[in-house]
Homo-oligomer: A and B are copies of this chain.
Amino acid sequence: MGANAVLLLSCPDQPGVVAAVAELVFRHGGNIVDTEQHTDREDGVFFQRVEWELDGFALAREEILPACAPLLARFDAQAEVSFTDVRPRVAILASRQPHCLHDLLTRWRTDELPIDVPVVVSNHEDHRAIAEFSGTEYVHLPVTPATKPAQEERLVEVLQERNVELVVLARYMQILGPRVVGAFPNRIINIHHSFLPAFAGARPYHQAHERGVKVIGVTAHYVTEALDEGPIVDQDVVRVSHRDDVAGLVRKGRDLETIVLARAVRAHIEHRVLVHGHRTVVFG
């Protein structure tokens, strides 16, 4: 299979967008292989994802967005174009807990996630061996209250020097300040180990145990400056019972965290996520 182009578009809801986009692709010889759309009726906003084959398409990659300009102007639309054969450069940040980090590295090594991982950053030394075995750089950035501003500055440098497009917080237990969040808007995915908005903040499994819930959950979301309130990309849950003490919840939650984080990363790198205010549209 050859590569495809993906157009993500949003604009005020109005007739004619679907026809205009389809006509533009068709006029240049493109075969649409997938299209999804969504209209938020309350806010009157239209979202679309269109994917077509580059094989036989008349425009070069860099010509596509310019060719869309009249259409975008006509409908007052924002758009971005991506290509399915370009591997996104993803940095992984972790603290002590290994499961999400190891899982993402395995998915990368075994080519299950079509990404490049130029760097793993951690505030601990713990994961150097698995990172280097996996073939990526390991940067140890310890953080104390005193060094945090400087280390965040350093973190942004590390990420930008390596042309990182997506930052994945694989149970990274440091709260990121506005310097980092601002440098990667809607480009940082965190996994929170509760079913948000329940049990935001610290020690969610302890909170869940205390409340006596019968289901626990996890939430993958984009990081914004408001802690645990960013747009949710994916969530999932697992049943628990009175037999599960906190350690049992932690253990059951681990598998869920790895899977939901990996699903959210996949949705992002497949260009299926559009952020709309503090919500998301996740196609497909």
Contact = CB atoms under 8 A, between A and B. Distances in A.
A152 interface: no
Q: Chain A: interface secondary structure? A: mixed
The 9 closest A-B pairs by CB, nearest first: A212-B279, A19-B22, A198-B198, A19-B26, A15-B31, A214-B235, A18-B22, A242-B281, A215-B235
Interface residues of A, number: 67
Contacts of A251: 112
A18 B212 CA distance: 25
B278 A212 contact: yes
A8 to B, nearest CB: 14
Interface in A237-284: 237, 241-243, 245, 251, 254-255, 259, 262, 278-282, 284
A242 to B, nearest CB: 4
Contact of A282 (B29, B34, B241, B255): B241
B38 A242 contact: yes
A87 to B, nearest CB: 17
Interface of A: 14-16, 18-19, 22-23, 25-26, 29-42, 98-99, 102-103, 106, 109-110, 112, 129-130, 133, 195-199, 211-215, 217, 231-237, 241-243, 245, 251, 254-255, 259, 262, 278-282, 284
9 contacts: A14-B31, A15-B32, A19-B23, A22-B23, A112-B251, A195-B198, A195-B217, A211-B278, A214-B235
Contacts of A280: 212, 242
